[in-house]
């Protein structure tokens, strides 16, 4: 591992067109799981000027069964989509929750996929797809996340809160952030560059109004980043193109699953390639990525490593993972193969051996908890009742006991 370097991560706001698509897809996941905890959902969303299109495969009791929609189901789906756009804050000529065109192209799940995934007879529930999934944690922040990404998320989350509350009425929903930190001996010591591009009300690209917006952004950064990281040498790029009035789906088309690095670890960790939003938890793209974060975070929280990467792999229709890999990047207190054996032992006892069913039941994933994940990262969030259960650190003692 290099000890001295610059590293950068970015985030995008809830109003970014790709994130609008993610939130719509996950609002559909939540709607279906609220009706049927065993629902199967693969919902993709396209957003562009005054248009939202849904496509994908579904199966849900009381909504879509045997190739037919239940009475009122299509209307409820459309209302859910429009309400999601309204909550984000889009009431613009080019994208308005009330007047946008809506297309619903969801249809039934493939019977061939269903027979591989569903439990039947002596066959356990299989993985919803093949693939590799990674989880990661490090001690750079209290959230045990890469600092560059953690701060990028928090800047935009604060700006969105101020927009919704009216504290920053000049802000519009679309925004992006980027944080570059200098690391010495593997620890962040200085913010060298901060980039924030935010959609704004007319007139906030010149004169006193532009100065007001710039001062606001710098104040948010100062309140969120540790003071020792900021100095006169920190370079700010705030709306570097000049004007940013046209944004959101009107400025650029959005698609579900196009911000997977923003969703995970900001480039600080490998990524399996599968997106999360729009998928029910039988899809290991989602559930296994959550459980590997859970394990990695608990390893770091237990003091067993400063950095940890976990990988698992699955085959469609097969319940048990094909492999489990643990890498503590030279920071572990025990050998990685010893820790790997402890993870397998604890996972077997607590999480059904990392089978799709074991993960879903062990973490309580068959619930409508996903819309909140679809902006500002799926990881580094606060576990809150049923929400973000993979952020709990209640596995740490079991891991330490397995190594005793």
| Known catalytic residue at 219 | no
| Known catalytic residue at 57 | yes
Using a 10 angstrom Cβ sphere, with 0-12 exposed, 13-18 middle and 19 or more buried, the burial of residue 219 is exposed
| Known catalytic residue at 139 | no
Q: Which of 7, 10, 14, 18 is catalytic?
A: 18
| Known catalytic residue at 360 | no
Instruction: Establish whether 107 is an annotated binding residue.
Output: no
Instruction: Establish whether 114 is an annotated binding residue.
Output: no
Q: Which of 82, 154, 279, 297 is catalytic?
A: 279
Instruction: Establish whether 347 is an annotated binding residue.
Output: no
Instruction: Establish whether 109 is an annotated binding residue.
Output: yes
Instruction: Establish whether 174 is an annotated binding residue.
Output: yes
Instruction: Establish whether 367 is an annotated binding residue.
Output: no
Q: Which of 259, 286, 357, 378 is catalytic?
A: 259
| Known catalytic residue at 286 | no
Instruction: Establish whether 26 is an annotated binding residue.
Output: no
Instruction: Establish whether 283 is an annotated binding residue.
Output: yes
| Known catalytic residue at 283 | yes
Instruction: Establish whether 115 is an annotated binding residue.
Output: no
Instruction: Establish whether 252 is an annotated binding residue.
Output: yes
| Known catalytic residue at 371 | no
| Known catalytic residue at 16 | yes
Instruction: Establish whether 275 is an annotated binding residue.
Output: yes
| Known catalytic residue at 232 | no
Q: Which of 252, 336, 340, 361 is catalytic?
A: 252
| Known catalytic residue at 19 | yes
| Known catalytic residue at 35 | no
Instruction: Establish whether 175 is an annotated binding residue.
Output: yes
Q: Which residues are annotated as a binding site for K(+)?
A: 44
Q: Which residues are annotated as a binding site?
A: 16, 18, 44, 57, 109, 174-176, 252, 258-259, 275, 279, 283
Please list the active-site residues.
16, 18-19, 44, 57, 176, 244, 252-253, 258-259, 279, 283, 285
Q: Which residues are annotated as a binding site for Mg(2+)?
A: 18
Q: Which residues are annotated as a binding site for ATP?
A: 16, 174-176, 252, 258-259, 275, 279
């Amino acid at each position: 591992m290099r000890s001295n370097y610059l590293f950068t991560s970015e985030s995008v706001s809830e109003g970014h067109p790709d994130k609008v698509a993610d939130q719509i897809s996950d609002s559909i996941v939540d709607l279906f799981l609220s009706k049927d905890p065993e629902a199967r959902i693969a919902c993709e969303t396209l957003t562009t000027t005054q248009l939202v299109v849904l496509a994908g495969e579904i199966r849900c009791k009381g909504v879509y069964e045997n190739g037919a929609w239940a009475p009122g189901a299509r209307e409820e789906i459309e209302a859910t989509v429009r309400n999601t756009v309204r909550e984000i804050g889009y009431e613009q000529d080019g994208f308005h929750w009330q007047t946008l065109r809506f297309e619903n192209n969801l249809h039934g799940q493939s019977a061939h996929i269903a027979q591989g995934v569903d439990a039947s007879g002596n066959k356990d529930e299989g993985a919803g797809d093949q693939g590799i999934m990674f989880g990661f944690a490090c001690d750079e922040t209290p959230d045990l996340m890469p600092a560059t990404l953690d701060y990028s998320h928090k800047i935009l989350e604060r700006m969105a809160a101020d927009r919704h509350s009216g504290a920053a009425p000049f802000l519009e929903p679309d925004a992006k952030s980027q944080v570059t930190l200098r690391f010495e001996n593997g620890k962040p010591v200085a913010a060298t560059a901060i980039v924030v591009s935010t959609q704004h009300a007319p007139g906030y690209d010149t004169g006193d109004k532009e100065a007001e917006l710039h001062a606001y952004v710098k104040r948010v950064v100062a309140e969120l980043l540790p003071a020792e990281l900021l100095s006169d040498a920190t370079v700010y790029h705030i709306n570097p193109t000049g004007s940013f009035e046209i944004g959101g789906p009107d400025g650029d088309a959005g698609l579900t699953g196009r911000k997977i690095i923003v969703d995970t670890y900001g480039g600080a960790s490998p990524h399996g390639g599968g997106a999360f939003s729009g998928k029910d938890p039988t899809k290991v793209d989602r559930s296994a990525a959550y459980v590997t974060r859970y394990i990695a975070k608990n390893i770091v929280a237990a003091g067993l490593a400063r950095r940890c990467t976990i990988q698992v792999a699955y085959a469609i229709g097969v319940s048990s993972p094909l492999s489990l890999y643990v890498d503590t990047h030279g920071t572990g207190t025990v050998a990685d193969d010893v820790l790997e054996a402890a993870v397998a032992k604890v996972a077997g006892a607590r999480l059904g051996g990392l089978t799709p069913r074991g993960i879903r039941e062990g973490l309580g994933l068959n619930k409508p908890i996903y819309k909140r994940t679809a902006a500002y990262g799926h990881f580094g969030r606060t576990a809150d009742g049923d929400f973000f259960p993979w952020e709990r650190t209640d596995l740490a003692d079991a891991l330490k006991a397995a190594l005793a």
